[in-house]
Amino acid sequence: MVLIQVRDLLAFPEGDNATDTEIGGIHFNLTTLNFWNYTYYTNNTLSNGSYCFLVDNPYTPPALLNNGTFLNSTSCYLATEPIGHRAEAGIGFAVAFALCLVFILVNLKKHGQLHLPPEKRFVPIGRRWQWYWAIFICAAALIGLFTGIDVDRYRVVQLPIVLNVFFWFLMQMGVMALVWESVRHWGSWMERQYVDPNPFILRENDKRGMFEFWLPLFFYFWLWLNFFLIVPRNWGKIELQRSPEQTAENALPTATDGRFKAAAFCLLVCWLTIMVSLWHSIYHYEPRNRGFFNRIVGFLGYMPFRFTLMVPLSLAVVGYQALCAWDFTASPLKVDTDLLAMYLGGYAPTILILIVNIIAGFMRPNEDRELIRQRRERGAAIDNDLGLVRKPAWWRRVNGDMPSENMRDRIMRNVREVGGGRPTARHIERLAEQRAADLESGDTNRSTFIEMNDLHRTNSTRSTSTNPPPYSYGGKSDTRRSERTVELAAGLLFPGGNASNTGGTDNGGASVERGRGHESSTPRRPGTSERSSSTVSGMSTTSPPQQVKSMLDI
């Protein structure tokens, strides 16, 4: 329980006797009050350092027990008072921020949509950040303003004042980030239009590109420094505003300490960074003027009109935060502060920046659509220079040049022309069957081959057998049947090969060995007319298979 340290104490009112006191028309035992260390304060509260109760009508407790317990008591830390002017003005601003939130979501959908493929150089989230920060501002403002209603309703200052100023500071940081993202993205949009006709006109790793890479990091460094100087602190002393003496001893030194002053300086650095970014974009992506005066005029002329309003308003935000760090009477951290200064300096610039950005968002087109329009205009200008006249889109439909079928129908028509199923496999099987039939019938003149090139091979002079190898075996030997099956497969795969080289006799394995021995004992280089470029192997099918490395070997 937070202790109440109020200097202006009151003596207990006199009662019927020396041990009696009358508060709010109710008599209490003075001895019990003194025993439990209760003290009577000018704000009509009783407190002993651990508990605090309201004792004015209609919250006066009806009785006090001997153990120091009040019956039907009301704690000091409840919202019992009616709303004041601070809450009334806060509700009005909260409604304005809620309306802005609706239009911000509409603009986010409009400008966040993609109509072109995303580019690595210009990421889509870059143009959405300003709307994300605007949503953050509205959320922080709504929470702070609605919690500020209880600042007036609490008899004893408590948590609502802390929540009110906490989200107010977050709103201030958000509005600076909003202005920064608006200016930064405008420069990115100017660069995108500049490089769209020629993507190689500007490099990404030159001095200009590296400056644009490090500048956002510099800005957010100072913005987060402002956050860490303000937020992580002991906010309990801000609540100690329950009397003028307590406010002067606790709240005033805390609200105007060096950390708040340094935080205002960090916000000023952020504003200067925004101006540097604006100057950088105009310097690189707009025509340059000569002379100091002409450059100033050109800077103001090339800058979008919305920045003419948003930049001074953001400077007002920085100025008011600095004013609060030096003047406590105008600060929202003070419970009974100057409301005119608080709302005009603390909330009015923020709501105006949001309104300007929303109106500008409705007036500007989607960037992808604008880029498409610019490309269409450049294409029309090039066609005009070349003397080309393009017919309108309806011309092909009227003259029947454009088919009425859709893409699915076109694909199905192409599939029907080629043939469904496994056309390549069926074709190979058909050729293999036809080749086997030709060999059985003795017709060797038909060129029905599976390979890509002719696989004809001249008969070797070493061959002594002209009989084709048998393709069927009627015996009972499984080994011989397997050999015949392999020979049949070799004949299909390598047509035109010499059957005698495979031992194509019915004399068993001995004749095969004799044939091989005869070939190896009398080697002879074939003549020129006997050579062939075919890859058909004359080796036995029992040897290792032929290794085909590429289509050039076939």
The per-residue pLDDT for 545 is 56
Both 17 and 142 in a single domain?
no
Both 114 and 50 in a single domain?
no
Residue 83's CB is within 10 A of a number of other CB atoms, namely 16
Q: Please state, in angstroms and rounded to a whole number, the distance separating the CA atoms of residues 526 and 258.
A: 104
**Contact yes or no for 314/175 (Cβ under 8 A):** yes
Both 144 and 26 in a single domain?
no
Please report whether residue 392 resides in a domain.
no
Residue 52 pairs in a beta bridge with 47
**CA distance from start to end of the chain:** 93
Both 58 and 196 in a single domain?
no
Residue 552's CB is within 10 A of a number of other CB atoms, namely 6
- Per residue in 253-308, pLDDT tens? 999 999 999 999 999 999 999 999 999 888 888 777 665 666 676 667 778 899 99
Of 317, 345, 368, the residue that ends a domain is 368
Q: Please state, in angstroms and rounded to a whole number, the distance separating the CA atoms of residues 54 and 46.
A: 7
As given in the structure block, the two tokens for residue 142 are: 């709504």
Both 127 and 57 in a single domain?
no
Both 182 and 41 in a single domain?
no
| More confident: 416 or 321 | 321
Whether pLDDT at 490 is above 70:
yes
Please report whether residue 89 resides in a domain.
yes
Instruction: Give the list of residues 6+ apart from residue 43 with CB closer than 8 angstroms, or none.
Output: 6, 155, 156, 242, 243
Q: Please state, in angstroms and rounded to a whole number, the distance separating the CA atoms of residues 127 and 112.
A: 7
The per-residue pLDDT for 372 is 92
Q: What is the extent of the structural domain holding 335?
A: 85-368
- Per residue in 370-411, pLDDT tens? 999 999 999 888 888 888 887 777 777 666 555 566 777 777
Closest by Cα among 52, 63, 75 to 25? 63
Task: Report how far apart, in Å, the C-alpha atoms of 71 and of each of 4, 22, 31, 62 are.
Answer: 21, 16, 17, 6
| More confident: 180 or 418 | 180
Q: Average of pLDDT values for 353-364?
A: 95
Residue 20's CB is within 10 A of a number of other CB atoms, namely 15
**Residue 54 identity:** L
The per-residue pLDDT for 502 is 42
Please report whether residue 3 resides in a domain.
no
The per-residue pLDDT for 539 is 47
As given in the structure block, the two tokens for residue 150 are: 């209880």
Q: Please state, in angstroms and rounded to a whole number, the distance separating the CA atoms of residues 416 and 413.
A: 5
**Residue 81 identity:** E
As given in the structure block, the two tokens for residue 141 are: 């403002």
Of 326, 352, 368, the residue that ends a domain is 368
In b/e form, how buried is each residue of 296-312, taking b as 16+ CB within 10 angstroms? eebeeebbeebbebbbe
Whether pLDDT at 447 is above 50:
no
How much is the pTM?
0.68
Closest by Cα among 482, 476, 484, 538 to 506? 484
Both 137 and 66 in a single domain?
no
Q: How many domains does the chain have?
A: 2
Q: How many residues does the chain have?
A: 554
Both 157 and 203 in a single domain?
yes
Whether pLDDT at 453 is above 70:
no
Please report whether residue 456 resides in a domain.
no
Both 326 and 197 in a single domain?
yes
Q: Average of pLDDT values for 350-376?
A: 94
| More confident: 483 or 84 | 84
Residue 21 pairs in a beta bridge with 28
The per-residue pLDDT for 31 is 86
What's the chain's average pLDDT?
A: 78
Band of residue 458 on the pLDDT scale cut at 50, 70, 90: very low
**Angle subtended at Cα 59 by Cα 58 and Cα 63, rounded to the nearest 5 degrees:** 110
Please report whether residue 20 resides in a domain.
yes
Please report whether residue 211 resides in a domain.
yes
Both 155 and 282 in a single domain?
yes
Which of 49-53, 126-130, 476-480, 523-527 is least confident?
523-527
CATH code, domain with 304: 1.20.1070
Q: Please state, in angstroms and rounded to a whole number, the distance separating the CA atoms of residues 300 and 512.
A: 101
The per-residue pLDDT for 373 is 92
Residue 64 pairs in a beta bridge with 70
The per-residue pLDDT for 46 is 86
Both 99 and 131 in a single domain?
yes
Please report whether residue 484 resides in a domain.
no
The per-residue pLDDT for 92 is 93
Of 305, 338, 368, the residue that ends a domain is 368
What does the DSSP assignment read for 142-174? HHHHHHTHHHHHBSS--HHHHHHHHHHHHHHHH
**Contact yes or no for 348/89 (Cβ under 8 A):** no
Please report whether residue 398 resides in a domain.
no
Rounded to the nearest 5°, which phi and psi values hold at 164? -60, -50
Q: Please state, in angstroms and rounded to a whole number, the distance separating the CA atoms of residues 506 and 470.
A: 9
Both 54 and 97 in a single domain?
no
**Three-state DSSP class for residue 445:** coil
